[in-house]
Amino acid sequence: MYSNFTYAKLRREFGRQCVFSKWGPRFLENLLPDSNLEYQWITKNPCNRSTNLGVDWSEHEVNTIRAEYVDRGIAHVEGGWPKDVNLDDPEQVTRFRKKAEKDDSYMHAVLQMSKLTEHFINQNNSIDIYEPYFVDPICQDVQTVSPSYRSIAVMSDPSNLTRPVQHLSWSPDEASKIAVSYANVEFETRGSSNSPNSYIFDLEDSTMPSFIVTSQFPIVKLEFNSRDKNNLAGGLISGQVACWDTRKGSDCIAMSNLKNSHRDPVTGIYWIHSKTGTEFYSGSSDGQVMWWDTRKLDEPTEVLLLDLTKTEDEEEQDWVKWSRSHGITCMDYDPLLPIRFMIGTETGLVFNGNRKGKTIFEKISGIYNCHSGPIYSVQRNPNFLKNFLTVGDWQVRIWSEDCKDSPIMWTKRHEIRLIDGAWSETKPSVFYSARVDGCLDTWDILQEQKNPIITIRVSDKSLNCVRCHENGSLLGVGDISGNTFIIQMNDWFVSPGKNDKALLTAMFDRETKREKIIEAKLREFKLKTKAAKELISTKDKRTQIAVAEAKLIEEAEKQFFEVITNEVKENEYIKGENFEEEESILEDESPYVIN
């Protein structure tokens, strides 16, 4: 038999204050055991019994009548001030206050009021029974949440032939929308059968794209405008750039001229923080950085060729300069530094650029030899702009702008090649790295430096790109089979601790200082080695000069003695001839003949 019962409570009984009173223990009732009941106990062995008893509860919800409140102020005019004192005159107020403080009744009144005030202060400082637990900042020092994640959505390429996901871009205003660009950048896989379109997905309905971005050529990079969620800029596989407006349809509203565009596929594109909000810049493996304005997209407003060779030949051919330029593999731009940008190259160098420079050497303010191979990702820390992250040659490295020769921190060398990396937008100590085997490593350098916190098995195929949303919880990951995975990280990876920023600042400063000391010692060692080599070379030169001088002296002496010997021989020969002639003359002129 079942019965329903409704619990009712009046509105005026809600939220009543608990009134406590202090009293000692009271003896209500004493129940003594009955010894006669022990003989009625029957032991049953075995005893098996199953019961199923459930209490039915009913729930009833009622919307109470809302109370309307009105704010009204009261103008306090007289109060305790006498009528002859003008409150607007500070001199009269001060004079009356000094006069009242000198009165004997004033001290007694203050002492009497202080006791009452103390009572209420102590009452307010007592334990608040309505206070929720673990809100005190002292309790937040201990991490009670364990790191975890969950997959929200998986979005596949709607085209017939699957294409790799090349780039992801989150909508600036709506956290549920993400733009995904697909393209086969390898030469052998390019063909007319591949679809050139990219898509915008909505996480609320991820089965089909909410908007189609049509293009004449496959889109390698597709980026939302940070100021206007309806405008997108894309870099095509043909080297051109194009713009789309979702309010005007799927077709592009403007496209650059092929002659004035890049010669290779676009490898990076970012919107620039400007007054108009219509400027962006792009980079390609042809070694050129181009600045564009959507209002006039026929040709770039500025071109930077990454040729750092100092040549004065003005008649040099363009193809010679192109052969010396550094191919661009990735780029980065932070709106907090409007004139600064970073470029990762195929040769393992990272260029720290300054747009306000006039010459190539003024625009490239810093060069960092980061990796021995191509750099797949470079990104500044959103909270520490002097520090940036690079991914390449099986390793993730963290650099400081003050140290150009070596990184301040780095991960171990992975056996699996890394393909991309990204900082967390909200927690400065967290970053992510994508691997070729389909795994995503999550790192927190304040907790662990040698191993990742969590390794997430995202896909069976190789990952190609990773992008973190500005709120820090959502993470977009794309693979080469055309799938885009949306992962939501828990609060452990999103909300920084109370002292995280101070600890990370101290860590970066300490490691930067250490690397500076090591660099100074290395420079000193190189100078000493160079001086020793020069000293050895000078000694060798002196020895060689002494040997050469000895040989010259020996040859000179030899030539000198040969000359002397020849002269002596000639003189002896001349003397012999003269002696014979004199004898013959004497014989002819002698008057005496000897028989």
Task: Give residue limits of the domains in the chain.
Answer: 149-495, 497-572
| Confidence tier at 233 by pLDDT (50, 70, 90) | very high
Angstrom distances, CA of residue 503 to CA of 192, 296, 401, 506: 54, 47, 19, 5
DSSP 473-522: SEEEEEETTS-EEEEEE-GGGTS--TTHHHHHHHHHHHHHHHHHHHHHHH
Write down the pLDDT at residue 336: 86
Beta strands in 406-489 (DSSP E): 409-410, 418-423, 430-435, 439-444, 454-457, 463-468, 474-479, 484-489
Write down the pLDDT at residue 458: 93
| Confidence tier at 228 by pLDDT (50, 70, 90) | confident
CB 237 within 8 A of CB 267: no
Q: What's the CATH fold of domain 149-495?
A: Methylamine Dehydrogenase; Chain H (2.130.10)
Distance of alpha carbon 235 from alpha carbon 229, whole angstroms: 18
pLDDT at 564 over 70: yes
Write down the pLDDT at residue 365: 87
- Count of beta carbons in the 10 Å neighbourhood of residue 439: 17
- Tell me the range of 31-35, 67-71, 431-435 where mean pLDDT is highest: 431-435
CB 397 within 8 A of CB 389: yes
Question: Using one digit for the tens of pLDDT, what is the confidence trace for 461-478?
Answer: 999 999 999 888 899 999
Judged on CB neighbours under 10 Å (0-12, 13-18, 19+), 347 is: middle
29-38, 198-207, 401-410: segment of lowest average pLDDT: 29-38
124-128, 267-271, 311-315, 401-405: segment of lowest average pLDDT: 311-315
409-410 vs 418-423, strand pairing mode: unpaired
pLDDT at 270 over 90: yes
Distance of alpha carbon 173 from alpha carbon 230, whole angstroms: 10
Q: What percent of the chain has pLDDT over 90?
A: 39
Write down the pLDDT at residue 593: 38
Q: Which residues have C-beta within 8 Å of that of residue 46, sequence separation ≥ 6?
A: none
Q: Which residues have C-beta within 8 Å of that of residue 53, sequence separation ≥ 6?
A: none
DSSP classification of residue 147: P
- Phi, psi torsion values for 58, nearest 5 degrees: -115, 145
Angle in degrees, CA 326, 437, 470, rounded to 5 = 70
Across the chain, mean pLDDT equals 83
pLDDT at 545 over 90: no
pLDDT at 252 over 70: yes
Write down the pLDDT at residue 188: 46
| Confidence tier at 73 by pLDDT (50, 70, 90) | confident
Write down the pLDDT at residue 518: 87
Instruction: Please tell me whether residue 537 adopts helix, strand or coil conformation.
Output: helix
| The pair of three-digit structure tokens given for residue 314, joined into one six-digit string | 């003005």
* Rounded average pLDDT over 54-76: 76
| Confidence tier at 585 by pLDDT (50, 70, 90) | very low
- Phi, psi torsion values for 95, nearest 5 degrees: -65, -45
pLDDT at 143 over 60: no
Distance of alpha carbon 137 from alpha carbon 134, whole angstroms: 8
Note the pTM of the prediction, 2 decimals.
Answer: 0.66
Distance of alpha carbon 159 from alpha carbon 209, whole angstroms: 11
Judged on CB neighbours under 10 Å (0-12, 13-18, 19+), 327 is: middle
Distance of alpha carbon 433 from alpha carbon 391, whole angstroms: 8
Helix residue ranges, H only, 24-103: 90-101
Write down the pLDDT at residue 6: 67
Write down the pLDDT at residue 65: 77
Write down the pLDDT at residue 341: 92
Q: Which residues have C-beta within 8 Å of that of residue 430, sequence separation ≥ 6?
A: 423, 424, 442, 443, 444, 493
pLDDT at 123 over 90: no
Write down the pLDDT at residue 105: 81
Question: Using one digit for the tens of pLDDT, what is the confidence trace for 148-174?
Answer: 899 999 999 988 888 999 999 999 876
DSSP classification of residue 526: H
CB 164 within 8 A of CB 434: no
CB 236 within 8 A of CB 197: no
* Rounded average pLDDT over 487-516: 90
Distance of alpha carbon 299 from alpha carbon 290, whole angstroms: 9
Write down the pLDDT at residue 192: 56
DSSP 150-188: EEEEEE---SSS---EEEEEE-SS-TTEEEEEE---STT
